[in-house]
Amino acid sequence: MALPQTAAEWAAETDVIRMAKCYRGRHWFPKLRLFAIACCRRIWHLIPPGMSRDRVETAERFAMGQATKGELAAANVGATLEIEQSRFYTNNAQTSYSYSEPGFSVASTVKACTLPAEHPAIFVPMHILRVVSHLAYREEIARGGDHRSATLSAEAAQRAETECMATLLRTMVGNPFIDEAKR
């Protein structure tokens, strides 16, 4: 399906990732990064205190012109290392498994904040939707639900989070097809 091509199509869009892909030009980058940071704040309680949160805050300072490209690059390198660490977990029997969720997606969300250009606005929501989906699925299973009910719960959580992030994007960044001078 093609991306929205007009202000009306964009305003009617409900997929936050498709919406974020419509922005063109460097002048959008700071607002798009701040949008991504605001999305991270929605799952702030899941981001480990310390270095992970510091990386998000560095990206925020960069968007506001208060951090250098070097500081952002260092945050990106650190976030990459955290992703590698989050890929594995060990259960009580000391058996290691790869791809631990939602920890991997939380770490990926932090890294996405440090990406260049408009990428944070695309990849942060993508990873957050994975986090929300995994958590909703786990919660339903913990309540005694089966795979089907857990899947439905995960899908509902994703829809609700997508709607919240789309509202955030509309409010914080605005419609890319409307001239900023007319807003």
Give per-residue pLDDT as tens, 46-68: 998 888 999 999 999 999 999 99
Q: Does residue 161 belong to any structural domain of this protein? A: yes
* Tens digit of each residue's pLDDT (9 = 90 or more) over 100-149: 678 889 999 999 999 999 999 999 999 999 999 999 999 999 999 999 99
pLDDT at 174 over 90: yes
Q: In this structure, how many other beta carbons lie within 10 angstroms of the beta carbon of residue 50?
A: 8
pLDDT at 156 over 90: yes
Q: Does residue 181 belong to any structural domain of this protein? A: no
Q: Does residue 7 belong to any structural domain of this protein? A: no
Rounded-to-10 torsion of CA 40, 44, 50, 56:
10
Confidence of residue 94 (pLDDT cuts 50, 70, 90): low
Written as one string, the DSSP assignment of 74-141 is HHHHHHHHHHHHHTEEE-TT--EEES-TTHHHHHHHHHHHTSSTTHHHHHHHHHHHHHHHHHHHHHHH
| Enclosing H/E stretch for 35 | helix 29-42
Q: Does residue 2 belong to any structural domain of this protein? A: no
pLDDT for residue 147:
96
pLDDT at 91 over 60: no
Q: Does residue 4 belong to any structural domain of this protein? A: no
Beta bridge partners of 96: 90
What percent of the chain has a predicted confidence (pLDDT) above 70?
90
How many domains, in total, are found in the chain? 1
Is pLDDT larger for residue 87 or for residue 98? 87
Q: Does residue 113 belong to any structural domain of this protein? A: yes
Rounded-to-10 torsion of CA 8, 9, 11, 14:
160
In this structure, are residues 82 and 111 in contact, taking their beta carbons and an 8 Å threshold? yes
pLDDT for residue 83:
84
User: What predicted TM-score, i.e. pTM, was given to this entire model?
Assistant: 0.89
Measured between alpha carbons, how far is 151 from 27 in angstroms, rounded to an integer? 39
Helices and strands in the chain, H and E counts: 8, 2
Domain of residue 108 covers 17-171
Q: Does residue 53 belong to any structural domain of this protein? A: yes
pLDDT for residue 170:
96
